Amino acid sequence: MKKPLKVPGFWIQDSYGAVKIDHGRIAYCRHSDGYTTIVFSDGQQRGVRVPLKRMEDKLPDMKFYRCHRNYLINLDYVRNFSGDKNNLIFPGRHAVPVSRRRREDLLMRVTGQTAAKG
């Protein structure tokens, strides 16, 4: 009997069926109108009809962070933080908003330093 291949990732089941997602390829997830759009590092996107909280529960805490009510990001893919607009910049120049109350904690996780007051 053959052993099943161990492919990194997890299964997400929605009303359309099930799909296996490799969490290492996820740049960020965006939730809107009942759908979570998974944006991969190569620019591909996949929409699933699951709450963002369910995605958050399946992803590793050390790698992923809920920076906004509608966004869950992979910290490995953050390229720049635009402090004046409270946006994170991802590959492909995608901007993701950061809520004011999560800004300080996010900066601490990404840089290891707190934001300058002023």
**Residue 70, exposed/middle/buried by CB under 10 A (0-12, 13-18, 19+)?**
middle
pLDDT at 118: 45
Q: Which amino acid is at 105?
A: D
How long a stretch of residues is the chain? 118
Instruction: Provide the pLDDT for residue 72.
Output: 97
Query: Would you say residue 1 lies in a domain?
Result: no
Residue 67 belongs to what domain range?
10-111
Say how many domains are in the chain: 1
Interatomic CA distance for residues 69 and 7, integer angstroms: 30
- In this prediction the pTM is 0.82
- What pLDDT, on a 0 to 100 scale, did the predictor assign at position 20? 85
Indicate whether 18 belongs to any domain.
yes
Nearest-angstrom CA–CA distance, 30 and 96: 9
Report the pLDDT value the prediction gives residue 4, as an integer from 0 to 100.
61
Going from the first residue of the chain to its last (118 residues), give the mean pLDDT of each consecutive group of 10, the final group possibly shorter: 67 79 92 92 89 91 93 91 81 87 88 62
What CATH number does residue 105 fall under? 2.40.50.1020
Q: How far apart are CA 73 and CA 1, in angstroms?
A: 39
Residue 75 lies in a domain: yes
| Gap between the Cα atoms of 109 and 77, Å rounded | 13
